Amino acid sequence: MEDNKALSPVEQNLQKIDVTKLVEYTRKIKDIGSLNKMMAPSYLRDFIIAYDICGSMLAMAVRYDLDASTELETAKAIAYLDNAGEYLKNKGIKESSAARERYVAIDATVITASNTKAKTTALVMLLKNKLQDFRMAHDDVKKMVYSDEYQTNNEGF
User: Using one digit for the tens of pLDDT, what is the confidence trace for 105-143?
Assistant: 999 999 999 999 999 999 999 999 999 999 999 999 998
pTM: 0.83
User: Using one digit for the tens of pLDDT, what is the confidence trace for 33-73?
Assistant: 888 888 899 999 999 999 999 999 999 999 999 999 999 99
Q: Long-range pairs for 136-144 at CB < 8 Å and ≥24 separation?
A: 137/28, 137/29, 137/32, 137/43, 137/47, 138/44, 138/47, 138/48, 138/51, 140/32, 141/32, 141/35, 141/40, 141/43, 141/44, 141/47, 142/40, 142/44, 144/32, 144/35, 144/40
